[in-house]
Structure 1
Amino acid sequence: MDIHLRFARWVRTHPGTLDVCLALVILVLLVLPFAASGTDGYAGVVATSAAVVVPLIWRRSRLLLSAGIIAGVSVLQLVLGIQPVPAQFVVLITLYTLAAYGPRWASLGGLTLALVGSAVGLVRFGDLIGIGGTASVLTSVPLYLIVLFFVEALVLLAWTTGDLARARRRTYQALEDRTRRLEVERQQERDLAAADERSHIAREMHDIVAHSLSVIITQADGARYASAQAPDLAVQTLGTIAETGRGSLREMRRLLGVLRGDETASTRPLPTLDDVDSLLQSVRRSGVRVACRRIGTPRKPLPLGAELTAYRVVQESLTNVLKHAGAHTTTEVTLEFGARGLGITVDDDGRGAAPDPATAGTGQGIIGMTERVRLYDGTVSAAPRTGGGYRVEAFIPYTQT
């Protein structure tokens, strides 16, 4: 790091130490020489100088007190006629500090007092610089105005420098606040993105695993009973179990490969509405009678994500049929393209609101369906039917462009 940057950082982090050092330097250079001279006439100069220099130690920690003491000593000099001292220039430092760190009213009040005090001081002590005294008016007034102009310009320069420092400091603080706010917002966005991704992964894992395991469990139960009466049917059922397990394993490997960022992971397309028939076929092999009706044609194509959502709704609904509806269940899947979007209805005549306690879950499937469909401004309802059975209804509107 450059030396000037280190110094600037030190100044920002040690303001009190800097003020003490400044006061000591002024005392050593402009006050101690008069005290060391031992002249009686300089005792007042030393006292006045010390009175205006020492308060600089608190010029930022107790700004108004420090400025008040220095202003009071300067006004007292004018009233009592005590001559200005070399250390009097600390008034400019105080004026800068008021403009940079003080309240606005104190900054403007200090500027007004310094301007008026300078004009009065030049009148009161003008003879020290050859103004007034025995000089003629024609000579004194122009000289007074010239000196007054430079003194007032010096006062305005000190105040303006402090005001610019205030503006710069506030801009720097605003940038720091904005940086902190952006960091907080960025962290919140990361947290929200991570939560959304975890939810997405949970839905995918549930859809893949729950459906495959439901088919496997149903087929395994059937194979167990068929092994004694119809060995050939049992062998066929075990083949279905193996095929379902391999398909589920492929899906899991693909999902985990994507999560790891594996470039060699399978990138085959995700299921769409065209894959519903394959899904129904796998359910039929589990002994569930499933029919599918397609009504109407899409007014406009659904996004691939919406088609995946529709597929997952059908998959989850059929999974619930396998898990809860019981044996000898008939299910009907209806895909209806209307004027506003796609309507999905899955009806079964199973046990409805009285699922098997051994297979009852935690409702994650319904929650996952609802979350998926809401992403496309759709709706989902799932409830037992009045005459028995269970019905799942979902609606996915066309994407507005």
Structure 2
Amino acid sequence: MDILQELNYRGLIHQLTDEEGLAKKISEEPIVLYAGFDPTADSLHIGHLLPILCLKRFQMAGHLPIALVGGGTGLIGDPSGRSTERSLNTQDIVVEWTDKLKKQLSRFLDFDSSVNPARMENNYNWLGDLNVITFLRDIGKNFSVNYMLAKDSVDSRLSNGISFTEFSYMILQAYDFFRMNSDINCSLQVGGSDQWGNITAGLELIGKSTGNKAFGLTMPLVTKSDGTKFGKTAGGAVWLDADKTSPYQFYQFWINTHDNDVVKFLKYFTFLAPEEIARLEEQVSASPEKREAQRVLAKEVTELVHGADAALSAIKISEVLFSGNVDTLSGREIEDAFQDVPSAEVTGEIALIDLLLAVKAAPSKRQAKQDIESGAVSVNGAKVTDLNKALTAGDGMEGKYIVIRRGKRNYYLAKFV
């Protein structure tokens, strides 16, 4: 399959300007394309994966991707997909976040290829030098207010109000496309479906200013079959930064994918061949209880984002928690696995009964005694029935961690300090 056929197979084309023209251009020579990423936080999240992986797919097909970090537009704020105005961040914060996003993006694209190297750009390099007169005379004159009001990103905000600052965002993004088309022959912009208005504004500016032919492609909004928002958990967004969402938590997000979504996500977020995806689709129908497709999805995406070692560690933690053999975990794995369970810090020597109360594994000493006597309590993987059992740091894994299991699924963590 060529790149457009592959994107079609994977359901990754939502809107596309002049498919025939783009197909012809791609067949004749490598195309330069870009996707933009504004530094609105100190990390990208899984909502950014589709455009990132789209750039990667184009590079694997022999084309030249550009990851554009919005050091300039990040100071303004994109109204797309929002019902209220963004809070403006200081320039120092935007510079800091821009640098962090650059490091994250460099994990996905090959910037050292001798054939079709990826590029990293920062639109502050040209937006930062614009003065208001140049902006209004040379760029703003190409856009009528009626044209801008008709765009969904603006129209959806009119009832709640939109500042001139965010109203102007579309023109700045259009100018990004114009500059990269003029400076480095970039002729394709890709993005999420909410970027269609901004992308077509760029095509408008390029056409009026240079007459060059350029193209736009958007990917679908990722949705879940149960109606809940993709990329959100009880703890908030699923981040690509391992310090914000650990590899184990990241792995768990994907392995909990519903049967109705898993094949779609395999197409969206992995580079598995169609034959392998078809095989996994058959497994979902024939043996859904085995959850093979979910395990493959979780492994592939975790490895892609965090590396092979992190993926293997996440798999190990999952298996250990299922079996209860927690004594094989490292300190880092314990921290990852039990980040969200009830926990407590303790010192000196503490009776197991008191420890169960401290970590809230039991509501009372009476219940704690009953749980111990009935064999419902395990400490670091070993069942304990001794009511007089006491613990010190020396009993902990790596000299400090006590993992308590009550019943089959309830875990608690105590840490000696």
TM over 0.5: no
Q: Which has the higher helix share?
A: 1
Higher Cα Rg: structure 1 or 2?
A: 1
TM-score by length of 2: 0.20
Q: Which has the higher strand share?
A: 2
